[in-house]
Structure 1
C-alpha cells in the first residue's frame, strides 16, 4: 500500500484523461488503522447478517431496497422520497415522474441482479444487464443502456476543458473491466473481501465505463459483491445513505486516491461506512421487532376485527402505503367493512392519511417508514 500508484494522466490533445493502473495484483496490507477498521466492519456485518435471521427478511426486504433506491438516486439529484417510491405512477405529480421512474428502475435492477447472481458470476455481463434495467425508459435511456461507452465522458464542469475529472478513453474500458472482473473472482488472492469491494468500487467509479448511471451501478455493486461472496445472505446492506450524508467526503476521498495515491484514506472511509451502516441495520431490525410487539398490543383493541387487521398489517410491512382497495383485497370484505377497518387503523394511529384529499385517500404506516428514514 505504501508504494501504491493509482495511475497517470494522459495528454489527449486539448484535455488529459486519467488512466488508472490495474488492480488485479498482489496487495500487501500494512496500515494498522485499516486492519483495525476491517476487523470492526467484519464483526458488525456478522451481527447484521445473524440478526436478520430473527426477523422475516423477505417481508422487509422491499423497504431496504426502496431506501437504497431513493438514497442512491438522491446523490444524483433525484428527489423521490420513500413514501412516493411505493405509490403508483398515476399518483405521482407530473413534474416528479421522471425521478419516480429512476427510483423504480433502481428497485428492479437490484431485484433482478440478485436473482442473476444465482446463474451468473460477478461479471461484466451482470454489470451490463443491471445497467440496462437501470436506464430503461428513464432519462438516460438514449445513453447506451447495457453497453460500455464508445466515447469520452467527464465528471463536473460545463465541458471537458474545465472538467473536475476525465475518466480513461473508451478504447481501454474493456481491458479495465476485464481486470476488475478477474480481481473480483480471483479466489487465490488473499485480499479480504471488504477491501476488495472497496477497491472495486473505487476502480469502477474511476473507469466510469457507462455514459450515464455509473454512480448508481457502482454503489449497487457493493451489495451484489457481498451477496455473491456469501458475506450477506440477503441484500440488506447499502452504503448509499452513508455516502449521501457524507457526499463531499465521498467524492474527495475517491479523488484523493487519483491525485495523491492515498488508497488508505479511501479504505478507511469505506470501512467506516460499512461499520456505521451495519450498526444502523441492526438498530432498524431491533426497531421492527419492537414495533411488531407494540402493534400486536394495539390491534388487540379491535376484538373480532383483529384477525383482519393483522392480515392488513402484514401487507403494510411489505408495502407501507394503504387505501381501501388494498384492505378489500387483503380481507375479502365488502367496501363498508373495509372502510370501517381503515377508520379503526387510523383512529388507533397505526396509519396516517397522507394525501390531504377528500377522495382516493391514501394512508401511510409512518412509524414503520420512520425506522428506515431514521436508521
Structure 2
C-alpha cells in the first residue's frame, strides 16, 4: 500500500535486517568504489604537495556544493574571495563559510574523540549560526516539533513527513550506536550510505539536516580509516543528480529499496574519486611547473612557502600571507609582484589592499 506522505514515518532501527539488501545489485559497484577510494587515498599520500595545503580548498568547494543543494546562491569565486575580504552581510557566503568551519571542527574533534550526539549537535550549531536561515526551533538541538519535506515549487506539496519528534532521541541513539559499534558485517562504504539515509529519514533538526548528513559522510569514513583525512566529499556528485538522490531516498521509505540507494551512493563515490584523482594529478603538475618558474625569478627558499600558501588560498592578499609567515610586508609585496610579472598570479590592480588570483589552480578546482 502506498505510504501517505503527510503521515509521520515510522522508521526502523539499525542494523538492517539481512533480507533488506540484495548484494547482487551493488556488489560490483562496491568493488569499484573501494578500489577507487584506495587509489585516491594513495594519490593524496604520494602528492608532492602536502594534503594539508589543498584540503581546505577542496573543503571550500564541498561547502559550496552542499549548500547549493539547499538553494544557497553563491559561486566558487565568491567563496574564495570571501576568505580574503569576508562579507558579513551576505548570508549565502556566511552559510558556505559555516559549512567549511563545521567540517574543520569535525576533523579536529574526531582526531581525538569518537562520535557522540553532542558532537552531531555541535556540527548543526556551527552550520546554522549567524541566522543564515529563518530556522524554526533552536540550533544545535533536536527538534521538538513536527517537520516536513516538500517540493521546491509553488505548491510545496509534502513528499515526506519524518518520524514524530518524540521518537527522535531514541532513533538518534540507535544511529549513534550503529556508527560507533555496528553489529553487522557490512563494508564501511555501505554503512556510510545507510547512515546518511537513516539520518535524513530521522531528520532530527528543524533545518540543515541535508548539510549535516553530507558532512557526516567523510567524517565517518575518516573514523573508519578508509581515508587519511576527511577530504572525500560527495555533495558535488549528488548535486548533479539531486532529484534522483531525493527520489532514491524516498524509495527506501516507501518501498524499502535500500540496495538501489546503496548502488547509487557507491556509483557517486566512484565518480567523485575519478574526478579527484584527475584533479590531484593536475594540481601536482601545476605545482611542479609553477614552483620551478617562481624559483627562477625569486632566488629565496621562502618562495616555497608562498607557493604552498596559494594552494590553500587561490585568492590571496599580502595580509593573509603576512599572517601565515614571518616575512616582512615589503618582501611579501615584492614576491607577489614578481609572481604577477611572470604570469603565475593576476591582480585586481587596486593601488592598495590588492587581491591576487591564482587562476590556473582555480580553473582546475572549477572543473
Instruction: Judge same fold: TM > 0.5, yes or no.
Output: yes
The equivalent of 1:100 in structure 2 is 93
Contact 1:102 1:138 in 2 (8 A): no
Relative to structure 1, is the Cα distance of residues 180 and 114 closer, same or farther in structure 2, using a 3 angstrom cutoff? same
* Partner of residue 165 from structure 2, selected from 149, 167, 170: 170
The equivalent of 2:185 in structure 1 is 190
The equivalent of 1:109 in structure 2 is 102
* Partner of residue 143 from structure 1, selected from 112, 137, 154: 137
1:37 Cα offset (Å): 0.5
1:226 Cα offset (Å): 0.3
Q: Distance in 1 between matches of 2:111 and 2:338?
A: 44
* Partner of residue 37 from structure 1, selected from 6, 29, 32: 29
Q: Distance in 1 between matches of 2:282 and 2:168?
A: 44
- List per-residue Cα deviations over 1:164-203 (Å, max 9, x = no partner): 2211111111121122122222344212211111111111
The equivalent of 1:252 in structure 2 is 247
SS state of the match for residue 185, structure 2?
coil
Number of matched residues? 361
The equivalent of 1:240 in structure 2 is 235
1:100 Cα offset (Å): 1.3
TM-score (norm. length: structure 1) = 0.87
SS state of the match for residue 317, structure 1?
helix
What RMSD, in angstroms, separates the aligned Cα atoms of the two structures?
2.7
SS state of the match for residue 9, structure 2?
strand
SS state of the match for residue 80, structure 1?
coil
* Partner of residue 296 from structure 1, selected from 269, 291, 294: 291
SS state of the match for residue 290, structure 1?
helix
Q: Distance in 2 between matches of 1:76 and 1:207?
A: 18
The equivalent of 1:16 in structure 2 is 7
1:360 Cα offset (Å): 3.0
Contact 1:227 1:235 in 2 (8 A): yes
Contact 2:234 2:272 in 1 (8 A): yes
The equivalent of 1:68 in structure 2 is 62
1:260 Cα offset (Å): 2.7
SS state of the match for residue 10, structure 2?
strand
More displaced stretch, 317-326 vs 55-64: 317-326
- List per-residue Cα deviations over 1:276-331 (Å, max 9, x = no partner): 11121211221121111111232243153x54443321221221222344456647
List runs of 5+ in structure 1 lacking aligned partners.
none
Contact 1:321 1:363 in 2 (8 A): yes
The equivalent of 1:224 in structure 2 is 219
Q: Which has the higher contact order (CA 8 A, sep 6+)?
A: 2
Contact 1:311 1:331 in 2 (8 A): no
